[in-house]
């Protein structure tokens, strides 16, 4: 009997379950919180790095396509003015009809329908953007290079549904073109990204236009003649500063560049004064951009670090 009793006691002791004490629970929770605190920044950095890699790849693809276009078009860069009454780049048969330009005319999907009313010359369709054929040949045809493209995306559904992911920066959550340089006003309660608003997160860099138009040799000339002079300068610049000359970038580069000296602008990656930039030699980089540029007559282009420094230049080494 004694042996049986002892066996019963052992069974009861082994089957018992001891609960955690409050202190033990608090210790476990504290350890979990500590691990989360350690891992979250690492996960955030990994996510940011992945998004940046995509953006750099995107802008590199556009830059390579631009180099191919330039070769096909006898040195002409994929940049052109626009004009009222036509949803697309400059009609080369009647060049003096133009009176406007925008930096999203060369690649991207069709603009948001908001641009139809009052800003029709900036409502540029995907089929009219000259570089699209080099990146998405199945979506547009090469006729757009002659100004005789068949117009696609005529309704709101086609505008919103067409996807051209090479032209979208993963950090692009809000555009600035309607309210430059502030955030776009929500449309019907929806905040538009730059990609969804004007068709592309990446746009061609326009500082060369301001520099050329302020040159005494071209001051007061027509927009078309200033563009032609700028394109000639690009052909020269391509031979000696291709690794420093930026010709396309995200919106943030322009916003930062034109802010006052000392300004701090946080971009879509939560970094201060940085932007994704594409160069004439078709490489891409994520660089610090210097504020303090501004535009117009009297700007000292070459000595202003916002325009010209040891990492990048957005202007030519001549003119004002």
Residue 127 near residue 151 (C-beta atoms within 8 A): yes
Q: Which sequence spans correspond to the domains of the chain?
A: 50-288
- CB contact set of 73 (below 8 Å; sequence gap of 6+): 145
For the chain, how long is the longest CA-to-CA vector? 117
Alpha carbon distance 282, 62 (integer Å): 8
Record the tokens describing residue 209, joined without a space. 């236009």
Q: What is the pLDDT along the chain (320 residues), one digit of tens a residue?
A: 444 444 444 444 555 566 778 788 888 888 888 888 877 776 667 788 899 999 999 999 999 999 999 988 888 899 888 755 444 444 445 555 556 889 998 999 988 888 877 677 788 888 778 898 899 888 776 654 444 344 444 556 667 778 899 999 999 999 999 988 888 888 777 888 999 999 999 999 999 999 888 888 888 888 888 888 999 999 888 778 899 999 999 999 999 999 999 999 999 999 999 999 999 999 999 999 999 887 554 567 888 999 999 999 998 886 54
CA-CA-CA-CA dihedral for 212, 261, 202, 188, to nearest 10: -120
Residue with tokens 């692009």: 172
- The Cβ-side half-sphere exposure at 200, using a 13 Å CA radius, reads 26
Residue with tokens 């004694």: 2
Under DSSP, is residue 286 helix (H, G, I), strand (E, B) or coil? strand
Residue 70 near residue 78 (C-beta atoms within 8 A): yes
pTM higher than 0.85: no
Record the tokens describing residue 7, joined without a space. 């066996």
The DSSP call for residue 19 is P
Looking at residue 202, its pLDDT comes to 97
Alpha carbon distance 199, 125 (integer Å): 9
- The Cβ-side half-sphere exposure at 119, using a 13 Å CA radius, reads 14
Alpha carbon distance 241, 235 (integer Å): 11
181: left (phi over 0), alpha (psi -120 to 50) or beta: alpha
Could you give phi then psi for residue 56, rounded to 5 degrees? Answer: -65, -40
Using alpha carbons, select from 99, 88, 96 the residue that is nearest to residue 144. 88
Distance of CA 238 to the CA centre of its chain: 22
Could you give phi then psi for residue 230, rounded to 5 degrees? Answer: -65, -40
């Amino acid at each position: 009997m004694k042996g049986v009793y002892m066996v019963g006691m052992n069974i009861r002791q082994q089957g018992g379950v001891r609960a955690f004490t409050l202190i033990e629970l608090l210790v476990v929770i504290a350890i979990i919180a500590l691990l989360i605190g350690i891992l979250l920044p690492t996960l955030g950095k990994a996510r940011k790095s992945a998004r940046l890699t995509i953006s750099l790849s995107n802008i590199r693809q556009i830059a390579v396509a631009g180099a191919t276009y330039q070769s096909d078009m006898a040195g002409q860069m994929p940049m052109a003015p626009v004009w009222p009454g036509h949803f697309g780049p400059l009609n080369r048969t009647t060049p003096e009809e133009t009176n406007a330009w925008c930096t999203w005319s060369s690649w991207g999907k069709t603009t948001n329908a908001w641009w139809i009313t009052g800003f029709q010359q900036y409502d540029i369709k995907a089929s009219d953007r000259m570089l699209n054929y080099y990146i998405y040949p199945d979506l547009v045809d090469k006729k757009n290079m002659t100004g005789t493209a068949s117009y696609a995306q005529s309704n709101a559904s086609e505008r919103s549904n067409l996807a051209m992911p090479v032209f979208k920066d993963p950090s692009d959550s809000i555009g600035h073109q309607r309210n430059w340089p502030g955030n776009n006003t929500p449309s019907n309660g929806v905040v538009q990204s730059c990609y969804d608003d004007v068709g592309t997160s990446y746009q061609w860099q326009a500082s060369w236009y301001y520099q050329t138009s302020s040159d005494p040799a071209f001051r007061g000339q027509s927009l078309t003649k200033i563009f032609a002079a700028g394109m000639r300068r690009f052909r020269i610049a391509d031979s000696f500063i291709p690794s420093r000359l930026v010709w396309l970038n995200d919106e943030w580069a322009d916003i930062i560049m034109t802010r006052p000296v000392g300004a701090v602008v946080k971009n879509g990656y939560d970094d201060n004064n940085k932007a994704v930039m594409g160069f004439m030699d078709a490489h891409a980089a994520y660089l610090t951009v210097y504020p303090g540029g501004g535009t117009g007559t009297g700007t000292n282009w070459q000595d202003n670090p916002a325009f010209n420094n040891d990492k990048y230049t957005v202007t030519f080494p001549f003119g004002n």
